[in-house]
Structure 1
């Protein structure tokens, strides 16, 4: 795992870390996210929402791609946090939220991301995909009012 942080104009901060696609990586990503955002004085609700988003995106990269490395990036912008998770691709298509039946145990990760984020999307990155989400930095709710 590697991490680096920097400040840009306006006090914006970024950190990135790399994870191996193995059991425990989503948990590690949640903890690294909480630790970093806590150091940036992010409020508890925003920190927990970010940890949820990172966990879901990392889990998707592990489950749905053959990546050997997953890169997570957290960047602040005025009033918001931008999360990006990049994989090496080799998956099956572009990630989309799936409507699942009440008895299904898996497949709701992107619905959760959509619920707590003000915006999210997917972009191609060579090689692979980057799935990103934006969240309010201090309180607030996602696009669906959760």
Structure 2
């Protein structure tokens, strides 16, 4: 059958779409990671998730830089049919824990994981042989916060 396509031929599934990169633990890393995650969400037609994804990405990358002493921060965003997963990896094996549930209203820090808990459909962390990954998911049908 040369020159014609069979009507019953279907494209093979390609699996989830994924982007990943690594960043030096500098003050510019959260902004660079936000920019990259935003680009891919736009590319995938998920513009409605950009605001929440930017906040989640900023918080996770900032936490990795401030609290771990890591030499490299890894960031990935993966599109699944029903959700997007943002993952940040670092070399610390410490489990992230939300700060005081009732922080001082004047405090400039301590609300990051609480914010992620409010924005994400679900989130968590996993220990790795080389450190940990902290992840958060947004449902692709989720309305912006």
Query: Where in structure 2 are the equivalents of 1:1-146 lying within 5 Å?
Result: 9=13, 12-44=16-48, 46-89=49-92, 93-98=94-99, 99=101, 100-140=103-143
Q: Matched residues in 2 for 1:23 and 1:13: separation?
A: 28
What are the superposed Cα offsets for residues 75-118 of structure 1, whole Å, 9 maximum, x if unpaired? 1111210111000116xx31111221111110111111110001
Moved over 4 A (4+): none
Structure 2 gap segments, 5+ residues each: 1-11
Q: What TM-score, normalized to structure 2?
A: 0.84
Q: Matched residues in 1 for 2:44 and 2:30: separation?
A: 21
Q: What TM-score, normalized to structure 1?
A: 0.83
Structure 1 gap segments, 5+ residues each: 1-7
3-state SS, counterpart of residue 9 of structure 1: coil
3-state SS, counterpart of residue 88 of structure 2: strand
Number of aligned residue pairs: 132
3-state SS, counterpart of residue 50 of structure 1: helix
Deviates most, 17-26 or 130-139: 130-139
Q: Matched residues in 1 for 2:116 and 2:60: separation?
A: 8
What are the superposed Cα offsets for residues 44-90 of structure 1, whole Å, 9 maximum, x if unpaired? 3x111111111100000000011111111101111210111000116
